[in-house]
Amino acid sequence: MNKFDITKLPKQWLVALVALAFTFLLVVPGCASEAADNGGSGDASGTETIKLGGVGPLTGGYANYGLSVQHGAELAAKEINAAGGVNGKQLEVNFQDSQGDPESAVAAYGKLMDWGMNVCLGGVLSGETASVVAAAKADDMLVMETTGSADKCIDGNDKAFRICFYDSYQGTAAADYLTDNALATEVGVFYQSDNDYSVGLYNAFVAECQNTGVTIKETQTFTTATSTDFSTQVNALASSGVKVVFIPIYAEEASTFLTQAKGKFADDVYFFGADGLDGILGKVSQDVTIADNVLMMTPFAADSADPKVQAFVKAYQDAYNATPDQFAADAYDAVYTVKAAVEAANGSTSGADLAAVMPTITVEGVTGTMTWSADGNTNKAASAILYKNGVGTLFGQDNANDAAGAESGDAADTAADAEA
């Protein structure tokens, strides 16, 4: 058999072959890179992983929120992967630092798209979430928003769904909670007038108080530029004599307010807020009694007897040496919701396919039983946590137990009388 000797080819042929090989090396990696960059534009059937990308503050004053979301998402992905993944595919989680800034959040979203993200876990704070959801609208990308609660966060994007409560719901529910639990007929309010989250809750709260007959006796505000000295506001609210002060603000600012308020209010005054207060104990760790009588509306309670919640709390504590807050719980549920949606969509990660199945699924999460409306908002129940001496417990839990005990005792007495 004659052997082929490439060195005997004409010189011009050799040059052409080398050029062709060089062109091939340039083009093929480029195609592979392009396929990875378009990770959100179709299903993941050609990949071994499903890539979940999140954006949030990992540095700065709100880093506690971002880290909680990152840890909750990573823990859920680890559990799902250990159980075999989603339709046989492993989950990857990539979380980028937004520094709490909407413009930085958009840049972080771009990095995740370059990475090949299939599903976006959205932002953490409301301002950055709105920016991320708007950026994702141009992509065939499902946004499974974890904690961005301002009503407008997911507006205009029919592929955006939310795990957390939205602000107008929280504000309305807070006002109803006052009446349902006979906490007060007159209240004070302290909110941040240049913050979407705070303003959204305030407006909904005031509107519902008008419906329920609760009087707003004193209202005090602050802005980002005036968020260090609250002495005037504290004195005005304390002098009003109200028994409840509604504080729809974040834990960072709440810690300053509560520190300056300590000793100025009667011992039976409640400081009532929503999910933004989560993490308050970490902000007042030098004296946890500063957070005494803080009442926080939330769908998640780490001390719940629910076996799912207790398993999550233990796994989180083992992994991060900390008790999970609502932000971690929302992110944990978000990843399990992605799993349920992908399975319902027969393995597709197309934003259109996943959005189509979201209103049809039900997820039993650690933040409650969740279903979704076509507008992207979740439907689940809320409870309230009361902080005392550095411990948060379900509000009314002791009263409920006492009542149950009394009913049991009455029933026993009745039975004994009947036997007699």
pLDDT for position 18: 42
pLDDT for position 10: 53
pLDDT for position 109: 97
pLDDT for position 47: 55
pLDDT for position 382: 82
Domain match, 179 and 126 both? no
Domain match, 105 and 181 both? no
H or E element that contains 204: helix 196-212
How does pLDDT run across 199-213, given as a tens digit for each residue? 999 999 999 999 999
In sequence order, which ranges of 279-345 are alpha helices (DSSP H)? Answer: 280-283, 307-320, 326-344
How does pLDDT run across 244-263, given as a tens digit for each residue? 999 999 999 999 999 999 99
Tell me: pLDDT of 158 over 60: yes
Q: How far is CA 67 from the centre of its chain?
A: 11
Q: What is the mean pLDDT of residues 388-406?
A: 60
Instruction: Tell me, yes or no, whether 402 lies in a domain.
Output: no
H or E element that contains 295: strand 294-298
How does pLDDT run across 75-109, given as a tens digit for each residue? 999 999 999 999 999 999 999 999 999 999 999 99
C-alpha dihedral sign at 184, 188, 192, 193? positive
Q: What is the mean pLDDT of residues 217-221?
A: 98
Domain match, 312 and 374 both? yes
Give the tokens for residue 167. 């602000």
Question: Domain range for residue 73?
Answer: 49-165+307-379
Instruction: Tell me, yes or no, whether 403 lies in a domain.
Output: no
Task: Specify the number of domains making up the chain.
Answer: 2
pLDDT band at 8 (very low <50, low <70, confident <90, very high): low
pLDDT for position 294: 97
Domain match, 157 and 63 both? yes
pLDDT for position 396: 67
Domain holding 82: CATH number? 3.40.50.2300
